[in-house]
DNA sequence: ACCTGAACACCGTTCAAGT
DNA sequence: ACCTGAACACCGTTCAAGT
């Protein structure tokens, strides 16, 4: 890649991070290009699709979650590991508004630029879930795809302004369905 | 209201019902007006806001849910009544794509045209929840606002194509958190 | 190889003019 | 009282032309 192109790409990404933080995943691409002092077709050249751009913004965090899962697999109780990881997943999925719809679309579309990251994340969750199930700590009738969906739904709740104040408590409620009988390690037990 | 205006209004509503079913809650207003053979400002005159239009489409169903709650309050076990009502709520919220975001926005905004309907619905749920809690059947640390949020989240799951096949099962999972210990009356127990 | 101006077809919103 | 044509400011997407 030519030096000027590299510079444009990096700058576009930095600006996109700001704008998507402000406006969410459906931010105006025109606005991003404008604020990056670049013509719109330049943005399209580097990121042919809105998803390609968001993929680049998200992949880092998604892959970090997969690594984090490996870490947690080796430590603590299976139940606590899963609970902690779920909480961190929701936090990452909430980093930008509107990402949950994207996750849902990407996991189901092999052609999506985000697909690989989502599949990696789901696989990591599936391993943690299986370990907790083997220990009898997690609901047996759940699979990784459903865990992924629950994470997305909980992140979605946090994205809706009027539900956001309840999002933490509702995480606890749903987590208690995934990990029945677990009383330690969740947000509220840890708080008092 | 003048006869021609009434006719326009009714026709707009009928067309909107079709278009919103096809395209979801963010359907093109221009398209609705076009397919109703009416100029765009005519649509704006009758429904000054997209929300005002959707409110009219939804109010009927939302109010029916409130009535349905009254019916269920007087019948069967408190747990079964709540479980049945929750399932029907999710079904109504899934009637049009994108309604869940709208519900979340409307419940938190007193100026929204949908606000009253949402508040009525939440109140109905709160009564059913309180009855189930008094019977020791429902989780004590939940309130009506959280129940409303859970319904919206479950409906949202059903709206995401890739999650939709899991939506029924995830309803059962979440319902089991709201109504712990209940083994009858849910979709899966009823199916075998 | 990379960038840009300019166009195209859309959208929501609003105003002044018609009947 | 009600409806409409037409304009405005936006948007995503793409092409031909520049360096």
For the stretch B36-50, pLDDT in tens is 999 999 999 999 999
Same domain as A84, residue A152 = yes
Nearest to A174 among B105, B108, B177 (CB): B177
Average pLDDT over residues B135-145: 98
User: Residue B81: what pLDDT?
Assistant: 98
Same domain as B137, residue B96 = yes
- Please answer yes or no on whether A161 and B107 come within 8 Å at the CB atom: no
Six-digit token string for B136? 């020791």
Does position B187 have pLDDT exceeding 50, yes or no? no
B50/C4 CA-to-C1' distance in Å: 37
For the stretch A166-186, pLDDT in tens is 999 999 999 999 999 775 444
Comparing A18-22, A184-188, B113-117, B171-175, which segment has the lowest mean pLDDT? Answer: A184-188
Percent of chain B with pLDDT over 70: 95
Q: Within 10 A of B26 (CB to CB), how many other CB atoms are there?
A: 13
Average pLDDT over residues B115-121: 95
Percent of chain B with pLDDT over 90: 92
Is A119 an 8 Å CB contact of chain B?
A: no
User: Residue B183: what pLDDT?
Assistant: 59
The nt closest to B36 (CA vs C1′) is: D3
* Segment holding A163, helix H or strand E: none
**Cα–Cα distance, A60 to A169 (Å, whole number):** 28
Same domain as A152, residue A73 = yes
For the stretch B56-111, pLDDT in tens is 999 999 999 999 999 999 988 999 999 999 999 999 999 999 999 999 999 999 99
In this structure, the protein residues whose CB atom falls closer than 7 angstroms to any atom of nucleic acid strand D are A 27-31, 40-41, 44, 49-50; B 1-2, 4-5, 8, 38-42, 45-46
Same domain as A61, residue A37 = no
Confidence band (pLDDT; 50, 70, 90) for B184? very low
Residue of B nearest to A174 (CA): B174
Is B174 an 8 Å CB contact of chain A?
A: yes
Same domain as B55, residue B26 = no
A33/D13 CA-to-C1' distance in Å: 14
Of A34, A25, A30, the C-alpha closest to A52 is: A25
> What does DSSP assign to residue B28?
-
Confidence band (pLDDT; 50, 70, 90) for A192? very low
B170 contact to strand C (CB, 7 A limit): no
- Which range of residues forms the domain containing residue B41? 1-48
- Please answer yes or no on whether B107 and A162 come within 8 Å at the CB atom: yes
Nearest to B160 among A104, A157, A176 (CB): A104
User: Residue A189: what pLDDT?
Assistant: 41
Query: Using a CB-CB distance cutoff of 8 angstroms, which residues of chain B are in contact with residue A141?
Result: 169, 173
Six-digit token string for B173? 């999972």
A2/C5 CA-to-C1' distance in Å: 23
Is B29 an 8 Å CB contact of chain A?
A: no
Number of domains into which chain B is organized = 2
* Cβ–Cβ under 8 Å, residues A178 and B173: yes
Give me the CATH number covering residue A21: 1.10.10.60
| Protein residue closest via CA to C1' of C3 | A42
Same domain as B72, residue B11 = no
Average pLDDT over residues A1-19: 97
Long-range interactions of A17-24: CB distance < 8 A, separation 24+: A17/A57, A20/A54, A20/A57, A20/A96, A21/A96, A23/A97, A24/A96, A24/A97, A24/A98
Of A176, A160, A86, the C-alpha closest to A126 is: A86
**Cα–Cα distance, A170 to A176 (Å, whole number):** 10
Give me the CATH number covering residue A104: 1.10.357.10
Same domain as B59, residue B4 = no
Nearest to A162 among B104, B139, B153 (CB): B104
Same domain as A74, residue A41 = no
Same domain as B106, residue B23 = no
Of B149, B137, B151, the C-alpha closest to A168 is: B149
User: Residue A181: what pLDDT?
Assistant: 79
For the stretch A52-91, pLDDT in tens is 999 999 999 999 999 999 999 998 899 999 999 999 999 9
Same domain as A35, residue A127 = no
A171 Cβ neighbours under 8 A, 6+ residues apart: A86, A87, A90, A154, A186, A187
Same domain as A75, residue A40 = no
Confidence band (pLDDT; 50, 70, 90) for B191? very low
- Please answer yes or no on whether B176 and A177 come within 8 Å at the CB atom: yes
For the stretch A109-120, pLDDT in tens is 999 999 999 999
User: Residue B186: what pLDDT?
Assistant: 44
Q: Within 10 A of A174 (CB to CB), how many other CB atoms are there?
A: 24
**Cα–Cα distance, B11 to B48 (Å, whole number):** 16
B123 Cβ neighbours under 8 A, 6+ residues apart: B66, B144
Confidence band (pLDDT; 50, 70, 90) for A144? very high
B171/D12 CA-to-C1' distance in Å: 37
User: Residue B158: what pLDDT?
Assistant: 98
Same domain as A69, residue A24 = no
| Protein residue closest via CA to C1' of D15 | A41
């Amino acid at each position: 890649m030519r030096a000027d192109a590299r510079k444009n790409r990096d700058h576009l990404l930095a600006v996109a991070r700001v704008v998507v933080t402000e406006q969410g995943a459906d931010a105006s691409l025109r606005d991003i290009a404008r604020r990056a002092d670049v013509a719109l077709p330049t943005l399209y050249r580097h990121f042919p699709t809105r998803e390609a751009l968001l993929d680049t913004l998200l992949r880092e965090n998604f892959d970090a979650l997969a690594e984090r899962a490996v870490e947690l697999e080796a430590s603590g109780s299976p139940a606590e590991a899963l609970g902690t990881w779920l909480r961190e997943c929701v936090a990452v999925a909430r980093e930008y508004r509107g990402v949950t719809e994207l996750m849902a679309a990407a996991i189901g579309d092999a052609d999506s630029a985000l697909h690989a990251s989502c599949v990696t994340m789901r696989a990591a969750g599936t391993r943690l879930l299986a370990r907790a199930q083997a220990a009898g700590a997690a609901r047996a009738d759940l699979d990784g795809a459903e865990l992924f969906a629950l994470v997305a739904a909980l992140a979605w709740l946090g994205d809706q302004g009027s539900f956001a104040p309840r999002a933490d408590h509702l995480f606890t409620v749903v987590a208690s369905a995934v990990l029945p009988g677990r009383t330690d390690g969740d947000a509220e037990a840890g708080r008092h």
